[in-house]
Amino acid sequence: MGKDAIRDKVAIVGMGCCKFGENWDKAPEDMIVEAAFEAYEDAGIENPQEQIEAVFCGSVYPSKGTAEVADALKLFGRPVSMVQNYCATGTDAFRYGVFSIACGMYDTVMVVGFDKPKDRGVSGPNVQTAGVRGLPMTPAGWFALCAARYFETYGATREDLARIAVKNHHNGTLAPKSMLKKEITVEDVLKAPIISWPFGLYDCCAQSDGAAVAILTRRDLAKSFRDDYVLVRAVSIALAPNPQSDPTFDFLRWKPTVYAARQAYEQAGIANPFREIHVAQVHDCFTLTELLTYEDLGFCEKGAAKEHIASGTFTLEGELPVNTDGGLKSFGHPTGATGVRMIYENYKQLQGKAGPRQVKNATVALSHNIGGAPQACGMTILTMP
Amino acid sequence: MVGIRSFGAYIPMFRLPLGVVSGGSRKAAAAGGAGEKAVANFDEDAVTMAVAAGRDCLEGIDREKVDALVFASTTYPYKEKQGAAVVAKALDLRRDVRTADFGGSIRAGTTAFRFALDSVLAGTAENVLVVAADCRMAAPRSALERNFGDAAAALLVAREGVVAEVVDVHSHADEIIDVWRTDHDTFVRSWEERFVVQHGYRDNVVEAVQRILAKTKLGPKDFDRVVLYAPDARSHAGVARSLGFDSAAQVVDPLFGRVGNAGAAFAPLLLALALESALPGANILWVNYGDGADAFVLRVTDAIGGARGRRAVSWHLERRAELADYDKYLRFRHLQPSEFDPRGGVGVSATVHYRDRNEDISFHGHRCRRCGTLQFPFQRVCYTCYARDEFDEVRLSDLKGRVMSYTFDFFAGSPDPPLIVTTVETEGGCRIYLQMTDANPKEVRLDLPVEFTFRKIHEYGGTPNYFWKCTPVR
Query: How does residue B27 score in pLDDT terms, banded at 50, 70 and 90?
Result: low
Query: How does residue B181 score in pLDDT terms, banded at 50, 70 and 90?
Result: very high
Q: Sheet containing A10-17: which strands, arranged edge to edge?
A: A80-83, A54-58, A108-115, A210-218, A10-17, A230-239, A376-383, A364-371, A279-281
Amino acid in the structure at residue A248: T
pLDDT (tens digit per residue) in A272-313? 999 999 999 999 999 999 999 999 999 999 999 999 999 999
pLDDT, averaged across chain B:
94
> What local confidence, expressed as pLDDT, does residue A10 receive?
98
Between B90 and A61, name the one with better pLDDT: B90
pLDDT, averaged across chain A:
95
**How does DSSP assign B171-212, residue by residue?**
EEE----SEE--TT-SS-EE--HHHIIIIIIIHHHHHHHHHH
> What local confidence, expressed as pLDDT, does residue A128 receive?
54
pLDDT (tens digit per residue) in A163-194? 999 999 999 999 999 999 999 999 999 999 99
Does residue B39 contact residue B78 with C-beta atoms inside 8 Å? no
A251 to chain B: closest CA residue: B405
Query: How does residue B23 score in pLDDT terms, banded at 50, 70 and 90?
Result: low
Query: How does residue A126 score in pLDDT terms, banded at 50, 70 and 90?
Result: low
State the average pLDDT over residues A77-105: 97
For residue A158, pLDDT over 70 is answered with yes
For residue B187, pLDDT over 90 is answered with yes
> What local confidence, expressed as pLDDT, does residue B413 receive?
78
Amino acid in the structure at residue B220: P
Tell me if chain B has a CB within 8 Å of the CB of A125: no
Rounded Cα distance between B295 and B172, Å, is 9
For residue B120, pLDDT over 50 is answered with yes
State the average pLDDT over residues A376-381: 98
Contact check, Cβ <8 Å, B461/A148: no
State the average pLDDT over residues A110-129: 79
For residue A121, pLDDT over 80 is answered with no
For residue B29, pLDDT over 60 is answered with no
For residue B349, pLDDT over 90 is answered with no
> What local confidence, expressed as pLDDT, does residue B78 receive?
93
The shortest CB-CB distance from B409 to any of A138, A244, A248 is to A138
For residue A6, pLDDT over 60 is answered with yes
Rounded Cα distance between B336 and A242, Å, is 37
Query: How does residue B33 score in pLDDT terms, banded at 50, 70 and 90?
Result: low
Does residue B133 contact residue B106 with C-beta atoms inside 8 Å? no
Assessment of whether the complete model's pTM goes beyond 0.90: yes
A308 CB-side CA count, 13 A? 24
Among candidate residues A18, A57, A87, A300, the one labeled active-site is: A87
Rounded Cα distance between A383 and A380, Å, is 10
For residue A207, pLDDT over 70 is answered with yes
Contact check, Cβ <8 Å, A247/B353: no
- Do strands B36-39 and B14-17 pair parallel, antiparallel, or not at all (unpaired)? antiparallel
Contacts of B433-438 spanning 24+ positions with Cβ under 8 A: B433/A133, B433/A244, B433/A245, B434/B468, B434/B469, B434/B470, B435/B469, B435/B470, B436/B403, B436/B406, B436/B469, B436/B470, B436/B471, B436/B472, B437/B41, B437/B43, B437/B469, B437/B470, B437/B471, B438/B13, B438/B41, B438/B321, B438/B471, B438/B472
- Do strands B419-426 and B364-368 pair parallel, antiparallel, or not at all (unpaired)? unpaired
Among candidate residues A146, A333, A368, A377, the one labeled active-site is: A333
User: How far is C-alpha A50 from the geometric centre of its chain's CA atoms?
Assistant: 30
Does residue A4 contact residue A22 with C-beta atoms inside 8 Å? no
pLDDT (tens digit per residue) in B292-314? 999 999 999 999 998 887 899 99
A333 as an active site residue: the answer is: yes
pLDDT (tens digit per residue) in B123-153? 999 999 999 999 999 999 998 999 999 999 9
Contact check, Cβ <8 Å, B352/A131: yes
> What local confidence, expressed as pLDDT, does residue B336 receive?
87
Query: How does residue A63 score in pLDDT terms, banded at 50, 70 and 90?
Result: confident
pLDDT (tens digit per residue) in A243-261? 999 999 999 999 999 999 9
Rounded Cα distance between A143 and A288, Å, is 8
State the average pLDDT over residues A13-23: 97
A250 to chain B: closest CA residue: B404
Residues of B in contact with A148 (CB under 8 A): 405-407, 446
The shortest CB-CB distance from B457 to any of A132, A148, A152 is to A132
> What local confidence, expressed as pLDDT, does residue B28 receive?
47
Amino acid in the structure at residue B9: A
Query: How does residue B84 score in pLDDT terms, banded at 50, 70 and 90?
Result: very high
Chosen for mutation from B386, B407, B420 (greatest number of chain A CBs closer than 10 Å) is B407
For residue B32, pLDDT over 60 is answered with no
Does residue A94 contact residue A114 with C-beta atoms inside 8 Å? no
Tell me if chain B has a CB within 8 Å of the CB of A192: no
The torsion angles phi and psi of A99, rounded to 5 degrees, stand at -60, -40
Residues 6+ apart with CB under 8 A from A189: A158, A161, A162, A165, A166, A200, A202, A203
A377 as an active site residue: the answer is: no
Of the listed ranges A361-370, B193-202, B254-263, B328-337, the one predicted with least confidence:
B328-337
pLDDT (tens digit per residue) in A321-338? 999 999 999 999 999 999
Rounded Cα distance between B358 and A198, Å, is 34
Does residue B41 contact residue B12 with C-beta atoms inside 8 Å? yes
B-proximal residues of A, 144-183, CB under 8 Å: 144-149, 152
State the average pLDDT over residues B408-430: 92
> What local confidence, expressed as pLDDT, does residue A135 receive?
60
